[in-house]
Amino acid sequence: MVSNRAIQAQLIDDDAAATIIGVSTQGVEAGSKNVDAAKQLGTRIAGLAKERGILRFVVDRGGFAYRGRVKAVVDGALEAGLTNKKEAK
CATH number at residue 80: 3.30.420.100
**Does any domain span residue 52?**
yes
Give 30-78 pLDDT, tens digit per residue. Answer: 555 688 888 999 999 999 999 999 999 998 888 888 889 889 999 999 9
Those residues with Cβ within 8 angstroms of residue 21's Cβ, 6 or more apart along the chain or in another chain: 10, 11, 45, 48, 49, 52, 54
Which residues span the domain enclosing 77?
Answer: 8-84
Q: How many domains does the chain have?
A: 1
Residue 80 has pLDDT above 80, yes or no: yes
51, 69, 50, 70: which is closest to 59 by C-alpha?
70
Give the pTM: 0.81
Give yes or no for a contact between 10 and 22, defined as CB atoms under 8 angstroms apart: yes
Those residues with Cβ within 8 angstroms of residue 61's Cβ, 6 or more apart along the chain or in another chain: 70
